[in-house]
Amino acid sequence: MVTLAQLKSGQSSTVVDIQGGRRMADRLNALGIIPGKKITKTSAMLMRGPVTIEVDRVEVAIGFGMANKVIVRPDRVP
Amino acid sequence: MTRILLMGNPNVGKSALFSRLTGVQAIVSNYPGTTISYTRGHMKLGEEIAEVIDVPGTYTLEPTSEAEEIALRLLDSGDIVINVANAINLERNLYLTLQLLERGIPMVVALNLWDDTKHRGVDINLEKLRELLGVPVIPTVAVTGEGIKELVENISMATSPHHLPTTRDERWATIGKIIEQVQRISHRHHTWQERLADASVKPLSGGLIALAILAGSFFIIRFIGEGLINYVLDPLFNTLWSPVVLKLSQLMGGGGFLHDLVIGKIIGGELNFVESFGLLTSGLYVPLGVVLPYIVAFYLVLGILEDTGYLPRLAVLMDTIMHRLGLHGYAIIPNLLGLGCNVPAILATRILESKRERFIAATLISIAVPCAALQAMIFGLVGARGLGYVAIVYGTLFIVWIILGIILNRTVKGFSPELLIEIPPYRLPPWRTVAQKLWIRTYGFLAEAIPIILGAILVINVLYILGVFDAIANFTAPVVTGLLGLPKEAVTALVIGFLRKDVALGMLAPLALTSGQLVVGSVVLAMLFPCIATFVVMFRELGWVNMLKAVGVMIVAALATGGILNLIL
């Protein structure tokens, strides 16, 4: 398992855990990013910039610090 | 009167639907958080007239920002909810739908952006969805008007089926079951919009795209603004209006109190629309001849940028830099809006989550982001001395924006949350909404600015005659002359800046300043005291304690920057 920040761009994965305060979990929950959800990382900015992911056909940008607290399990590449 | 609330996730097209239902023009854009306070309108519902409210977008009824709190407060006052949902992303949108159903308020679901479902490979079984939710579900395309008639017919059939309040996890489980039964997804190849979307948030290509867009915007704004001035408005004023004013001047005897008030000073039979300061000369020329062209140009370009969906991507690119200023990337949107007018910009800081961010953003906007009216005057007056000087003004304000942001980030207590935003897909701007927005904003400028400008010119003339300005000028001479190196009369402009910045800068024109002095004057005027409208909105949004803090920062920053510029130039 890796954090969303560590996940490679283009890689799909499943959210396992959200390790942050309640507020952070609330904000991610509002965007449908919850444990068990399939997400694909589309890109990451340099210098600890935001990570962009695709969740249910919608693109979402997540600040680096937050992305570092989202634990995902990368899908096996067939 | 029945009150209908339009509620849904951000950027699902509530405002577009609102315009369709009520005929009231609302600002529609392609980014989450366009509507930060509510708009009210009316529609016919059978025989009676119902009130319709365009509620700011919200993901849940557990608010995480000011705009979402407003949405929650409005919910208690509504009789019927039209829940606007994004057909492309039913999963997440249903979360709010379920929360609303748990509230037991009669509801209809408008499944908007329905036209996108086909090419995105989303297939939704509407019958099944109606059955599972227990409320009418109408597919709509608000931008084109598709499905609006059916929606209106179904409003009276709004029902409140019995949904028991549940926990977050149970809600997601329910959604999972619904989705399983109603939605089929088939794979589709990427469109060119999606390819471009990917490229614009990748570090290298994204940076290049951003530079190209910002540079392009700047040149288009200047091209349109200057074009309108040189080929339309100046000829109109010079060939048509000037003779009328000169004739009137003759009729009024060429001088005296009333003449100076209406026409202003005419030096050697020549009319100078900027410097004469009469109601019919500067009073009309400043708002219509100088500022209006740039307002039109700026809001046209901004409107297109808003509607394509580019702005959230710019937010992603700017995030790292904005963190240094105690903000996150999304704060770039209020700052950009500030280049048009500071008032809506400070209102737009509501999309930021914490009080600290809102204070920092509002302070930075009011100090270092010049509005379009002021910028138009800067281009007109400072630009006449050479574009290099204009570059110094902009460069200085940009450096102030950065340094002040870094200082505020280090000193303001509290916490700035991280960026978390939905990035909408790119769309070709619907010309109808671009035109509509341009009209709303231009009209807003004319309705607001012209009375204040005329009032300001009246006040200026009266104060001159009463000798009030001389008293102020003598009193503030040590600061204005000593620190800023400006003639003491320049203080009148700084005082009038409180009413309107464009008129104030115009007051520097007759003072025969050197180019360096004009740069100092422009920068200080831009930074010191926002206009009264901005003051009011800062007071309302920040409270008086924080507003006074912002003003303190403003005075110190403006005088320090002006003093330093005076030493350098």
Residues B564 and B569: their CA atoms lie apart, in Å, by 9
With vertex at residue B105, the alpha carbon angle to CA B100 and CA B106, rounded to the nearest 5 degrees, is 110
Phi, then psi, of B470 in degrees rounded to 5: -60, -45
10 Å Cβ neighbour count for B47?
5
- Do residues A16 and A71 touch, judged by C-beta distance below 8 A? yes
pLDDT at A77 over 70: no
Whether the ipTM is more than 0.90: the answer is yes
Judge: A30–B64 Cβ closer than 8 Å, yes or no: yes
What are the chain A neighbours of B423 within 8 Å (beta carbons)?
52, 58-61
Q: Which helix (H) or strand (E) holds B214?
A: helix B203-228
Judge: A23–B62 Cβ closer than 8 Å, yes or no: no
- Do residues B156 and B46 touch, judged by C-beta distance below 8 A? yes
Instruction: Using a CB–CB cutoff of 8 Å, tell me whether A66 touches chain B.
Output: yes
Residue B290 is predicted with a pLDDT of 86
Residue B231 is predicted with a pLDDT of 94
Nearest residue of chain B to residue A43 (CA atoms)? B202
Across the beta sheet with A12-18, the strand order is A2-3, A70-74, A12-18, A38-44, A51-55, A58-62, B420-423
pLDDT at B38 over 80: no
Q: With a CB-CB cutoff of 8 Å, which residues 324-343 of chain B face chain A?
A: 328-329
Query: Angle, to 10 degrees, between the axis of helix B544-568 and the axis of helix B532-542?
Result: 130
Residue B429 is predicted with a pLDDT of 86
> Residues of chain B with pLDDT > 90: what percent?
41
Instruction: Using a CB–CB cutoff of 8 Å, tell me whether A49 touches chain B.
Output: yes
Q: Render pLDDT for B199-219 as a digit per residue (tens, 0 to 9).
A: 887 888 888 999 999 999 999
Judge: B419–A32 Cβ closer than 8 Å, yes or no: no
DSSP at B267 = B
Q: Render pLDDT for B433-445 as a digit per residue (tens, 0 to 9).
A: 889 889 988 998 8
Instruction: Using a CB–CB cutoff of 8 Å, tell me whether A68 touches chain B.
Output: no
Most A CBs within 10 Å: which of B122, B189, B320, as the mutation test of the A interface? B320
Judge: A45–B89 Cβ closer than 8 Å, yes or no: no
Judge: B89–A57 Cβ closer than 8 Å, yes or no: yes
